[in-house]
Amino acid sequence: MDKEHTQSLSSAPIPLFADEIAPEIDLLPDNSEYRDREEDEHFSSLMEQIPGLERQGEYEEMLRVARQASSRNPGSALALAYQARALQKLQRISEATIANDQALLLDTNLPLAWLNRSGLQLLQERFQDALRSAERAVTLAPADARAWVNKGIALLNLDYLLEALAAFDISLAHDPDFLFALQMKGEVLRKLRRMNELIPLARHAVEIAPDDAHALTLAIQAFSAVEDYAALPPLTEKLVQLTPDNLFAWDSHMRALRSQGRFEEAREAIERVLELEPDNVYYLTIKADNLYRLGEYRQAATAAERALQIDDAYAPARRIHEKAVRLMYQRKGKKPRPSSSGGDS
């Protein structure tokens, strides 16, 4: 190396920072791409959790995760639509509407946002608007069973029963075990009085959801309509366990047991319906009849008299009262006293 070149090197300033050597080259590792990829993976992980949380009914957690996903990716219309869906499930309708509108501003062709909009409009009883939104949802996502159900519910509320039935059938073609679709189809069949079609549908609903009160109710209504009383007791017994304060459940259980001649077992159901409806003349008369059939004539007469105090023109109560009093005195070998319940005897 020549002397001149050596001097030029020795006189060059020593760089203090790496970018002074070659400003166009960053010698430190660039982590931005790695960070972006990590953010994307975290966002994807959050989004993948959300459908499962909805299926499990964990709507508060669903909302938390969807909001976290939105914070990771504020431009995600889907994350906003998931927020709206969670808020809708939590009955926070105004917040759900705002979040869903924001999702549609970001992506006007997002199927979930149109599904949400139709659901929110159904809750607000805006059935014509709900029908239009549901039609947009099924156009964008024709295999989404939920969108077809929303369309069916809108049509049902607009009294287009056959069209609603067709929508529920399409929903069930995409998801044969979609319980809500089964229930809604059952409602239409019941309105159309097509009970023979309702029976297999109700059986299937109970098979896939034996602990679901709505499925049990549907099955009880179906079997009652075709007078298949032998099928009722297991269903009604399960329903009263699940919904102990449900008048329909206890009423159905009472009828099921009595239809099988199980009058002793029907006592509890009768007392429960009277706890829920203490001044119901019909239930008081049923109690009187049940006691009469069990040979408890004095108690039967008392129950019938209570019914007649509420409505002295109720003929079934009067007939049971007269029979119970007559047999009560026959058992004692005495002549019955005149009725004290008022009215003609």
The mean pLDDT value for 73-101 works out to 95
Rounded Cα–Cα distance for residues 112 and 98 (Å):
15
Of 250, 220, 223, 246, the C-alpha closest to 235 is: 220
pLDDT of residue 281: 96
pTM over 0.85: no
Of 59, 55, 54, 110, the C-alpha closest to 80 is: 110
pLDDT of residue 155: 98
Q: Would the pLDDT of 326 be above 80?
A: yes
**Predicted confidence (pLDDT) per residue in 183-225, tens digit:** 999 999 989 989 889 999 999 999 999 999 989 998 998 998 8
Does 270 or 32 have the greater pLDDT score? 270
pLDDT classification of 178: cutoffs 50, 70, 90: very high
Q: Which residues of 175-200 are buried (b: 16+ CB within 10 A; e: fewer)?
A: beebbbbbbbbbbbbbeeeebeebbe
Which helix (H) or strand (E) element contains residue 222? helix 213-225
Q: 28-37, 43-52, 68-77, 273-282 — which is least confidently predicted?
A: 28-37
H helix intervals, 30-158: 32-55, 59-72, 77-89, 93-106, 111-123, 127-140, 145-157
CA dihedral 307, 311, 315, 316 (to 10 degrees): -30
Task: HSE, CB side, 13 Å, CA atoms: give it for residue 152.
Answer: 26
Q: Would the pLDDT of 332 be above 50?
A: yes
Q: Are 94 and 124 spatial neighbours (Cβ–Cβ below 8 Å)?
A: no
Tell me the CA end-to-end span of the chain in Å, nearest whole number: 138
**Predicted confidence (pLDDT) per residue in 285-321, tens digit:** 999 999 999 999 999 999 999 999 999 999 999 999 9
Q: Would the pLDDT of 171 be above 50?
A: yes
For the chain, give every domain's residue range: 280-345
Rounded Cα–Cα distance for residues 161 and 154 (Å):
10
Of 159, 203, 153, 154, the C-alpha closest to 180 is: 153
Of 211, 263, 149, the C-alpha closest to 219 is: 211
Q: Which residues contact 290 (CB under 8 A, 6 or more apart)?
A: 258, 263, 266, 267, 270, 300
Distances in Å between the Cα of 332 and the Cα atoms of 66, 327, 340 are 76, 9, 19
Angle at 101 between CA 99 and CA 104, to 5 degrees: 115
Of 134, 179, 175, the C-alpha closest to 153 is: 134
